[in-house]
Amino acid sequence: MSEFMVETAQLRGYAGLLERNAGHFSAIEGHARDKGGDTSGFTGLLSLLVPVVDGAVGLYAETLKFGHDKMAELHQSLTGAADAYDRADAANVTKMTTVDTVSNIPTVGGN
């Protein structure tokens, strides 16, 4: 059976990175809606493009929101996995400690 070791601090660190990146997605989405979708200067024939710009900004913002949501989900999953590994390790330590403290363990020669 192969062995592996999980560094839960590393999982939590990566989860934190994902959380920060998800926050950046939200900031970019806000900027896209506020600045990128500004059609206040569209006059004359350019005013015909307002629905096109609004649609493009909406799609872009929706894509950023989707990315944010997926990163937030992955953040939660990694944090949950790290917690599960920590709980399993704590339970195994308890079991090992219990085995070490058992009295009247038979020994070779019956002593």
Structure-token pair, residue 23: 């926050």
Tens digits of residue pLDDT in 63-98: 999 999 999 999 999 999 999 999 999 988 888 777
Tens digits of residue pLDDT in 26-43: 999 999 989 988 998 888
Residue with tokens 């990315």: 67
Amino acid occupying residue 87: R
Q: What is the largest CA-CA distance in the chain?
A: 103
What is the C-alpha to C-alpha distance for residues 46 and 49, in angstroms, rounded to an integer? 5
Tens digits of residue pLDDT in 7-27: 999 999 999 999 999 999 999
Query: Would you tell me how many other CB atoms lie within 10 Å of the CB of residue 32?
Result: 17
Cα 23 to its chain centre, rounded Å, is 11
Q: pTM for the full model? A: 0.73
What is the C-alpha to C-alpha distance for residues 52 and 56, in angstroms, rounded to an integer? 6
> Would you say 57 and 36 are in contact if contact means Cβ atoms under 8 Å apart?
yes
